[in-house]
Structure 1
Amino acid sequence: MGTMPIDQDEIQALVSVETGEIDRRIFTDQAIFDREMREIFGRAWLFLCHESQIPKSGDFFEAPMGRDNVLVVRQKDGTIRAMLNTCTHRGNSVCRAEEGNTKNFMCTYHGWTFGIDGELVGVPQLESFYKNDLDLSKHGLRHVAQLDTYKGFVFATFDAEAPTLIDFLGSTGRLGIDLIAEMGDMEIVPGVGKFEIDCNWKLCVDNLFDWYHPQITHMSATYANLPVEVDDAFLEQARDAGGARTPDGTEIEFSSSDVLDFPDMIGVFGEYGHAIAGPPADPQKLAQQWRNRPEAIEALGPLGIRIGGHPGIFPTMWITEIGQVSLRVPRSPTLTEIWWFNFVPKEAPAEVRSFMIEVQNHLFGPAGVLEQEDGENWAQGTMHAAADQSATIPHLLKMNLGRGKIIREGGLARIEDATNEHAQLWTYKAWAQWMSGSSWEALAEGTTPGDTL
């Protein structure tokens, strides 16, 4: 599709919270994508990396911030800086490696050289060609406006007027990060998984809160992991699918409990679009026993201990239940690069670390049994959103619409309900608020949960 002129009123019309309908053009239109880069990715605090990736002076990691790439670098004094990976001379990259350790960054076009602090420290033929008439102090690498960390997670923003990281995350965003940080003394496994899917980035974000699709999308993957022997009681429990049928008319006997284990959901909604949604946690399960640690109980609080769903830090950071962080990196309206960071406890024995990594890679990533299926859904949705007539059919989020009563407790706003689409709708509501170019004050007010959703 071609681009469409947009203003604030038109942006708001693209998302109807009252009807649960989203205009599909937001998934393919170039003008909307360009505005996202400016209003969302040019202002929001974005996750860059984890401190365990850059422990020593000179360690660096290249991270995306919208359409820009920044170098996140550990300084000699232990602090961290982030700067655009573009030479201030002619714009080439000053670093071609994705991560590593260095004493400086040199552009391979003309040899301009920058220290790890971003200062311009070397220009070939400065005396003979420039006659010493070039002020090096004015041509260092451009730094991000603000950089901060929360429990080892490094974030940055291009907006000098943005609230602090702590305020941006709020209680919901901090709880989302706590749900991985409190698993133990966590570190990232070397190497970041990266691959591309022909889809819009918002469909990837939408999906992380979607607990309606596993019973169909992931049927083959789930049945492959079912126990070989099942009793009559188990089979009886599985006969509550309620309407799904194969092309030949056969009813699919597949229970949501086969995938979710719980019929109820907990959703937490915070300012700026952060959310957590999913079934309650079971601290008695082996993979969840870290929740019984006194430190975790204190950090998470009575509600956090119960939450077992997926945290989403707006706009593109997803935290899984199994010690992973994913970024949905927008490359174009119809192309998204998926990044996966695998975390393990530092003190874990080698066999435990190996097992965790195996499970993580088995589920998500280019070879993950779940994400291969998810990616096909996102690509299909994006393809049809780019068609002429199909694009006029709204993207629907009507499940339990208007029935989610907000409960406020302990500084958090939550909904406890059956499977629903509240978190997806909350994400698009926040998206529209960001895209309207609101001031930070208006943005916070416009993304404060009301009484229902």
Structure 2
Amino acid sequence: MGRTAAEWSAPPKFPATHYVDSRLYTDEAIFKEEKEKLFRPSWIIACHESELPEAFDYRLFTHPAGVPLIMVRGDDARVRAFYNICPHRGNTILHDPSGNAKRMTCIFHQWSFDTRGNCVEISRAEQGYQERFRKEDASMREVKCELAYGGFVWVNLADDCAPLREFIGGAMDILDPYMQEPMELFHYHRAHVRTNFKLWHDTNSEFYHDFLHYFNRITGMLQPGYFDRRYTGFPNGHATVGSMQIQYDKYEGSKERAVGWPGLAPGGWYMVDLFPGMTYNLRTSVMRIDTSIPLSPNEVLIEFRGLGLKRDTAEERAQRVFDHNTIWGPFGRNLHEDLLAVTGQGRAMREGTDSRWVIQGREENSTIHDEVGMRHYYAEWSRRMGRPAYAPY
């Protein structure tokens, strides 16, 4: 028998920690607050160092808090991050998404900057400013930047932020043994999805949704040990998922992976979820990284990166690309199904649909179909936002 409006709106019969108010996925005020309280003070992956292989190489990145950034490798080989905003009249400095620039010049009035953020040229400076304003007064706004955890470039907008390793804590320890060799990017694409960024991260926080994936239902879920993998929560909202060995030869049209990963057992798989919206996913022969860039309460840009080893032969790299695209490419076996699911959530939860609650009530001793990963995430969300996810108003 169906429920009445009052029954539909009543809180689920679970502890308050086991459900969230679905309005936190659609409320514009909450979204703006998240950008300031979750993303601005957090360390965020901007790109991989292999995307900036040479001196003066740059790449643009829109920070989840909304700030446009330039990631650039200087003549000293150091990678730095700056606002992509001219200090003169607030114009965009660089427009192409990537390139090589010894000088970064604003097209508006030809003010130029070097890769260390110094202003090196102000057109007709003496005539217009005399001694009242100098190049030294017009340097770029630099933000905190570190290279770590597999060669990724991390940024933090807060000048007084804690060091990256303090933010991560022990969450990456499970992957550290497998990130000792230099990696190189071989795949990048973005998905523009009509859903809330937290709903995407939720899919990486629970594996109960393996029922969504046909190939997972007929292969991995039938393997011994599948249900034994455990979630481990860490401070700051991070979590890891224990490993399992995937029998790829059981997949229709697939076979056992011909290329592995240094130190990883054949078919091995590790995953780390990082608050507020990043995931490391090492699966047999490929490292995949997801980074969420929220655009609105019901709109997110997800950056997907696939990486192999820098020392790969041409044959090894070709195999890694094949392995990656089979599962995680835009037309792979899993990714499009995940995107379809969260798009459906975004459609059903948009403002005015009368969606009310999202249940996170499964308890299976913190194993793979337990929803403890989601509860752990929203506990951190509640702490940072200063309001409980189950009653945010």
Normalising by the smaller structure, the TM-score range is 0.7 to 0.9
Residues 418 and 208 of structure 1: is their aligned pair in 2 closer, same or farther, counting only changes over 3 Å? closer
Q: Offset of 1:124 from its aligned partner?
A: 1.6
Separation of aligned partners in 2, 1:65 and 1:57: 23
Matches within 5 A, 1:137-216: 137-145=136-144, 147-176=146-175, 178=176, 181-182=179-180, 184-189=181-186, 192-215=188-211
2:375 to 408, 422, 425: 425
Aligned counterpart, 1:374: 338
Aligned counterpart, 2:29: 31
Q: Does structure 2 conserve the Cα–Cα contact (< 8 Å) formed by 1:209 and 1:310?
A: no
Separation of aligned partners in 1, 2:258 and 2:203: 23
Of 152-161 and 362-371, more deviation after overlay is shown by 362-371
Matches within 5 A, 1:247-286: 257-258=221-222, 262-277=226-241, 280-281=244-245, 286=257
**Structure 1: tracts of 5 or more residues without a match:** 1-12, 224-237, 239-253, 298-304, 405-414, 438-453
Question: Which letter does structure 2 place at the counterpart of 1:164?
Answer: P
Pair 1:435-2:385 in alignment: yes
SS at match of 1:391: coil
Separation of aligned partners in 2, 1:273 and 1:283: 31
Q: Does structure 2 conserve the Cα–Cα contact (< 8 Å) formed by 1:210 and 1:421?
A: yes
Aligned counterpart, 2:251: none
Separation of aligned partners in 2, 1:370 and 1:156: 30
Question: Which letter does structure 2 place at the counterpart of 1:395?
Answer: V
Matches within 5 A, 1:15-414: 18-66=16-64, 67-145=66-144, 147-176=146-175, 178=176, 181-182=179-180, 184-189=181-186, 192-215=188-211, 217-219=212-214, 222=215, 257-258=221-222, 262-277=226-241, 280-281=244-245, 286=257, 290=261, 293=263, 308-320=269-281, 321=283, 322-388=286-352, 390-392=354-356, 394-400=357-363, 404=365
Q: Does structure 2 conserve the Cα–Cα contact (< 8 Å) formed by 1:58 and 1:116?
A: yes
SS at match of 1:168: helix
Separation of aligned partners in 1, 2:41 and 2:376: 19
Question: Which letter does structure 1 place at the counterpart of 2:274?
Answer: I
Separation of aligned partners in 1, 2:15 and 2:201: 17
SS at match of 1:81: strand
Q: Offset of 1:418 from its aligned partner?
A: 5.2
Question: Which letter does structure 1 place at the counterpart of 2:35?
Answer: M
Count the aligned residue pairs. 364
SS at match of 1:144: strand
Q: Offset of 1:430 from its aligned partner?
A: 1.1
Q: Offset of 1:329 from its aligned partner?
A: 1.3
Q: Does structure 1 conserve the Cα–Cα contact (< 8 Å) formed by 2:149 and 2:179?
A: no
Separation of aligned partners in 2, 1:259 and 1:432: 36
Q: Offset of 1:101 from its aligned partner?
A: 1.6
**Structure 2: tracts of 5 or more residues without a match:** 1-10, 249-255, 388-393
Q: Offset of 1:336 from its aligned partner?
A: 0.8
Residues 256 and 188 of structure 1: is their aligned pair in 2 closer, same or farther, counting only changes over 3 Å? closer
Q: What is the RMSD computed on CA atoms of the aligned residues?
A: 3.0
Q: Does structure 1 conserve the Cα–Cα contact (< 8 Å) formed by 2:308 and 2:317?
A: yes
Identity %: 24
Residues 277 and 312 of structure 1: is their aligned pair in 2 closer, same or farther, counting only changes over 3 Å? same
Separation of aligned partners in 1, 2:120 and 2:140: 11
SS at match of 2:55: coil
Separation of aligned partners in 2, 1:78 and 1:422: 42
Q: Offset of 1:29 from its aligned partner?
A: 1.0
Q: Does structure 2 conserve the Cα–Cα contact (< 8 Å) formed by 1:282 and 1:288?
A: no
Q: Does structure 1 conserve the Cα–Cα contact (< 8 Å) formed by 2:231 and 2:368?
A: no
**TM-score, with normalisation over the residues of structure 2?**
0.83
